[in-house]
Amino acid sequence: MGGGGRVVITGIGAVSPLGLSAPDTWTELAQGHSGIDYITSFDTEGFETRFAGEVKGFVPENYMDRKDARRMDRFAQFAVAAAQEACRSASLDIQSLDPYRTGVIVGSGIGGIVTLSQQYQVLSDRGPRRVTPFLIPMMLGDMASAQVSMAMGAMGANYCVVSSCSSGADALGQGWEMIRRGQADVVLAGGAEAPITPIAVAGFNSCRALSRFNGDPHRASRPFDRDRDGFVMSEGAAVLVLESGEHAAQRGAAPLADLLGYGATSDAYHLTEPNPTGQSAAKAVQMALKSAGIQPSDIDYLNAHGTSTPLNDWQETKALKLALGGDAYRVPISSSKSMTGHLLGAGGALEAAICVMAIENGVMPPTANLVEADAECDLDYIPRTAREGEINVCVSDSFGFGGHNSVMVFSKPGQEA
């Protein structure tokens, strides 16, 4: 097939702090419920932050053979579960297609840090000969993508995108590009992360990134609020089935949404801080809109990166004003991280799934915990309660440590310019 055609989303799957499926996640999100609570996976005594967005009730053996599960890090287990749901949602049987025309791109910012942390303790306590031979194939960042490929029988291009908190968004963007240039008919694209370990929490605490609102974890993630004090670390995965419009039509699949455009830039500024001008992030938004063939006036809803850190929320607000002009004040905007927390490399993928479900349901999730807006964050950030309204065009942006800026544009099926 030739390149440059329509790219549609035919299936979504998610494992998140709000639920073990995309519909369950959406139900909780639309009601403004929080998935943040005290950490149960390790003893947090002595830690500045004692809460996170843990996935609750996940049993790997419900999704895969026990032997296979034992050879996967938690982040890869999440990815396989999300991919299975996405394929069911899309009524996609890869074995009935050309498997070499089906790719897999699953981003992750940290990869198998759970296994690495555990095995470093084994090394310290019991010596080098007791380290598992599966350490390396479990900790590598590409193993979520590889495990999804094996589980689903996808034999096309298969790799991991690593761009910090933009990883999941960039995976979708690269899948979009792959289909448009005619390299694949179908791409399972998304992100997976399982970072809730002592070393990760301690590390993010040390760089003053995490919220320390230990008295009430449900209220800790407060994007754009005057009293926000950092992001909330979370785990989970989301995978979307991307297809060429022609391929979806041939197999009778009904698209859930179109992926219209993608833009990415780099701040080239600082290891962790966004560029204070907001210009590079704004450029990514403008590039995505241009590739989608739409104007700021066409946007009905924007799912913000909205991490709840002081610098990100200020600079994101500034970037949106630069990119959208006067429409920045018109467009309803919210941060679903106020309820899910920040899934790091999986965040952009989960938020893409949320955008698709927002389009389907005509509901814009709220920015929970936004009680008193920061004076510098003066856009319409949908405080506390979801808002109903027709969504024809939706934008999602993701920004990562290292200056990564990644933006996607979605629409109702068939709304492409």
Mark whether 207 is an active-site residue. Answer: no
337-19-204 Cα angle (round to 5): 40
Number of residues that make up the chain:
417
- Which one of the listed residues 342, 377, 394, 404 is annotated catalytic? 342
CA–CA dist 151, 236 (Å, integer) = 18
- Residue 385 neighbours by CB under 8 Å, 6+ apart: 32, 366
- Which one of the listed residues 87, 160, 305, 355 is annotated catalytic? 305
Phi, psi of 11 (to 5 degrees): -160, 150
Mark whether 33 is an active-site residue. Answer: no
Q: Are 214 and 264 in contact (CB under 8 A)?
A: no
Give the helix ranges, DSSP H, for 130-244: 135-139, 143-152, 167-180, 198-206
For the chain, the straight-line distance linking the first and the last C-alpha, in angstroms and rounded, comes to: 21
Element (H, E) at 83: helix 74-89
Strand partners, 261: 409
The bridge status of strand 37-38 relative to strand 51-52 is antiparallel
Mark whether 165 is an active-site residue. Answer: yes
CA–CA dist 183, 106 (Å, integer) = 17
DSSP state string for 362-387:
TEE--BTT--SB-TT--S---BSS-E
Neighbours of 276 (CB within 10 A): 13
- Residue 288 neighbours by CB under 8 Å, 6+ apart: 261, 262, 263, 395, 407, 408, 409
Q: Are 343 and 55 in contact (CB under 8 A)?
A: no
Residue of 159, 166, 142 whose CA lies nearest to 103: 159
- Which one of the listed residues 165, 355, 377, 394 is annotated catalytic? 165
CA–CA dist 281, 263 (Å, integer) = 10
Q: Are 402 and 165 in contact (CB under 8 A)?
A: no
Residue of 188, 240, 206 whose CA lies nearest to 410: 240
The bridge status of strand 387-388 relative to strand 363-364 is antiparallel
Residue numbers annotated as active site: 165, 305, 342
